């Protein structure tokens, strides 16, 4: 195998984990250059002195590197530098879900024109090899739905809350200390991280190119111990679930990201800690399930270095994205049962019945709260009915919690 010279752009948690794998001498890959804006602050004593450090991106592109690993995050300058590498005929490996979700089709076409690879396994589900599984093992099938837990941070928070009396803030602090959550966890908690990942899976798995910002996201922030108690009564767990599925005619997709009650018999409910799970449904293959760690530097680094090894072995993956002009409409999810908790004793029956929402089962709420399970209806109908019932308890606004119930 030819020795491949690698440059890393960005030396954060993931960048350091990738570098440790590369300098271990076990991969047949040679780390030759590290780019970071503050070289003096980032330099480490375990790095071989043969590795060049630079804060000047031009020095990376004028060096003799064969492959660029982009780990900066964010849309810019990461997107421009990925494009520059491809334009110069250098393969790129990235974990940047935002760039791939928003510009993956164009960049994939550019890579194909230049005859190089753009690989992004680590952008979706940590160490779970979902992209390569779809592109290789499931390539002959027509996939109809991809569902799963795509954010390890949220899964860590929700599983720990469900198994302890710890508050949301306490489990978030624990996740941050372990390196599973960012200092600003908003993108994780509010669903935007999983939103980008889901749009990539729509493109690669369903062959439907969608605008990630059209996927409805609902935050996990409002979930409380009262909801976990209700979930236990219903034989469910609570997870942040991401779903994209073809409509019946295949002309559009339905997609969403948000907390949901999931039947405990489902593999989606059984993943714990920082694990991710991806469940793929195909017309011929049926249900295929992949599980693995989805947060943390080391699992992500394994996916990145695996992409590098594939490039080193001559695996020139084809363009995984539909063409730039093949965008598809995103529709809301269909009717299903929902669990609802209203933060006060208001009567919402009139609003609900006007929109065809019927409480099918009432649960015993705590502290005067109203908790119930609805008939099959859309999430939007419930949210419209409950919006007037949002109240203030003390000095804190209480919003209704609405969780779809998933088998």
**CA atoms within 13 A of residue 84's CA, in its CB half-sphere:** 15
User: Helix H segments across 186-233?
Assistant: 186-189, 192-205, 225-233
Query: How many Å apart are CA 272 and CA 406, to the nearest integer?
Result: 17
**Element of type H or E holding 107:** helix 97-114
**CA atoms within 13 A of residue 295's CA, in its CB half-sphere:** 25
Query: How many Å apart are CA 284 and CA 131, to the nearest integer?
Result: 19
Q: Residue 189: which residues within 8 A CB-CB, separation 6 or more?
A: 153, 154, 157, 219, 220, 221
Taking a C-beta distance cutoff of 8 angstroms, is the pair 7, 67 a contact? Answer: yes
Query: How many Å apart are CA 373 and CA 361, to the nearest integer?
Result: 5
Taking a C-beta distance cutoff of 8 angstroms, is the pair 65, 90 a contact? Answer: yes
Query: How many Å apart are CA 64 and CA 81, to the nearest integer?
Result: 16
Which residues carry out catalysis?
A: 197
Please calculate the CA angle 245-246-251 and round it to the nearest 5 degrees: 150
Taking a C-beta distance cutoff of 8 angstroms, is the pair 6, 48 a contact? Answer: no
Query: How many Å apart are CA 369 and CA 149, to the nearest integer?
Result: 29
Q: Residue 96: which residues within 8 A CB-CB, separation 6 or more?
A: 70, 71, 72, 73, 74, 78, 79, 82, 120, 123
Q: Which long-range contacts (CB under 8 A, 24 or more apart) does 220-225 make?
A: 220/154, 220/157, 220/158, 220/189, 220/191, 220/258, 220/259, 221/168, 221/189, 221/190, 222/399, 222/401, 223/158, 223/161, 223/168, 223/259, 223/401, 223/403, 224/168, 224/341, 224/401, 225/161, 225/165
């Amino acid at each position: 195998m030819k020795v491949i010279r690698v440059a890393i752009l960005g030396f954060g948690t993931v960048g350091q984990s990738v570098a440790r794998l590369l300098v271990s001498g076990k991969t047949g890959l040679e780390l030759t250059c590290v780019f970071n804006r503050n070289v003096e602050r980032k330099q480490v004593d375990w790095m071989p002195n043969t590795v060049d450090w630079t804060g000047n991106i031009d020095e990376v592109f004028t060096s003799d590197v064969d492959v660029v690993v982009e780990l900066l995050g964010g849309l810019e300058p990461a997107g421009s530098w990925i494009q520059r590498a491809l334009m110069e005929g250098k393969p790129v490996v990235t974990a940047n879900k935002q760039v791939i979700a928003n510009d993956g089709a164009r960049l994939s076409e550019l890579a194909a024109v230049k005859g190089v690879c753009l690989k992004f396994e680590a952008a979706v589900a940590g160490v779970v090899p979902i992209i390569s599984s779809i592109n290789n093992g499931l390539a002959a099938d027509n996939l109809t739905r991809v569902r799963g837990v795509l954010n390890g941070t949220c899964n860590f928070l929700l599983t720990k809350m469900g198994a302890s009396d710890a508050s949301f803030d306490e489990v978030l602090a624990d996740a941050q200390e372990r390196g599973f959550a960012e200092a600003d966890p908003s993108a994780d908690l509010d669903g935007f991280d999983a939103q980008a990942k889901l749009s990539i899976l729509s493109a690669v798995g369903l062959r439907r190119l969608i605008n990630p910002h059209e996927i409805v996201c609902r935050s996990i922030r409002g979930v409380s111990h009262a909801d976990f108690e209700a979930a236990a009564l219903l034989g469910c767990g609570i997870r942040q679930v991401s779903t994209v599925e073809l409509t019946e005619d295949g002309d559009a997709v339905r997609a969403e990201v948000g907390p949901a009650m999931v039947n405990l018999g489902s593999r989606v409910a059984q993943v714990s800690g920082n694990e991710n799970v991806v469940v793929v449904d195909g017309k011929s293959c049926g249900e295929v399930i992949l599980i693995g760690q989805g947060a943390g530097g080391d699992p992500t680094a394994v996916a990145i270095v695996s992409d590098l090894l594939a490039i080193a072995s001559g695996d020139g993956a084809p363009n995984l994205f539909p063409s730039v002009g093949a965008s598809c409409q995103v529709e809301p999810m269909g009717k299903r049962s929902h669990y609802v908790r209203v933060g006060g004793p208001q009567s919402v029956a009139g609003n609900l019945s006007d929109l065809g929402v019927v409480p099918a089962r009432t649960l015993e709420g705590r502290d005067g709260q109203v908790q119930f399970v609805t008939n099959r209806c859309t999430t939007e109908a419930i949210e419209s009915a409950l919006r007037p019932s949002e109240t203030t308890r003390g000095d804190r606004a209480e919003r209704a919690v609405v969780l779809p119930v998933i088998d």
